[in-house]
Amino acid sequence: MLESGPVNAADFNDIINHLLPDIIVSGHVDPEACRAAMPEDIEELRAILRNAVPRVEVEEEVLGCLTSVAAERLAAKGEALVLGRPLNYIGYRMNARKATICVVGGAGHFLGAFMEAGTVVCEGDCGHFAFRGACGGRALIMGSAGDYCGEELHGGVRVRVMGNVGRSAARRMMGGELRVEGDAGPFFCRYMEAGTALAREVELLGETFGGIIHVRKVKAREKENDGRHDATLIVDTPQSAPPSQ
């Protein structure tokens, strides 16, 4: 990774220009590089999070990574980061246990993607790929989530969605817990290997290789008798589902 120094100006474009060589070399947005590039003044960082307008996806990733870095810094003061914009990549790669992000209203796509630790609370709905690849921490979505919620969850992460989830939630899940208080769209738990997924009604249960699925009702199964359905499937009322911890 290329060496990075601090950026003094509270200007998102300066941060992007500073990180661009590292992104080109590594192929991804690195949290450590973002920490080195962010302004020292937390109020300057808050201003960037309020006002910056990303133009392409990699800039969305950088801004999302800055939300995580800001939450980690505020955690040292016992404060949570409060956001009022439906940004993409909020909580991207957050990895501090005491860091907390509260999203007022809805969030965009990739909420909490690749999160390793911390807490994310979204007061409304969120877009697609919420908590994709997350391996640690806790999350609460008060509304509904889009498609591919909890894709490739692993480790000890726990995600709770109070509303519904779209298609392919818990796809390739390898650990952790995804609790959906509402209904799940088609291909729920497709290619799941481990972990626990819970929902009310499932439109179409995908093929599975392992794990535990706890639901009230499954309307249909992928490939029915010819598909692989190796997960432990428990079908009963919500009252008997295990409590979330």
Q: What is the per-residue DSSP string for 201-215?
A: EEEEEPPBSS-EEEE
Cα angle value 198/116/164 (rounded, 5°): 30
Place of tokens 């990180």: 19
**HEC per residue, 70-101:** HHHHHHCCCCCEEECCCCCCCCCCCCCCCCEE
pLDDT at residue number 236: 87
pLDDT at residue number 1: 31
**HEC per residue, 134-158:** CCCCEEEECCCECCCCCCCCCCCCE
Chain-centroid distance, C-alpha 43:
25
Question: In 10 A of CB 79, how many CB atoms?
Answer: 13
Report how far residue 2's alpha carbon sits from residue 159's, in angstroms, rounded to the nearest whole number. Answer: 35
What token pair was written down for 120? 């994310």
Cα angle value 190/193/196 (rounded, 5°): 85
Spatial CA neighbour of 113 closest among 60, 167, 163, 55: 60
What DSSP designation does 186 have? E
Q: Note whether 197 and 217 are within 8 A (CB).
A: no
What token pair was written down for 24? 């080109």
- Across the strands, what pairs with 204? 186
Report how far residue 125's alpha carbon sits from residue 148's, in angstroms, rounded to the nearest whole number. Answer: 14
Average pLDDT for consecutive 10-residue bins of the chain (245 residues)? Answer: 38 88 80 85 90 92 94 94 96 95 97 98 98 98 98 98 98 98 98 98 98 97 92 78 51
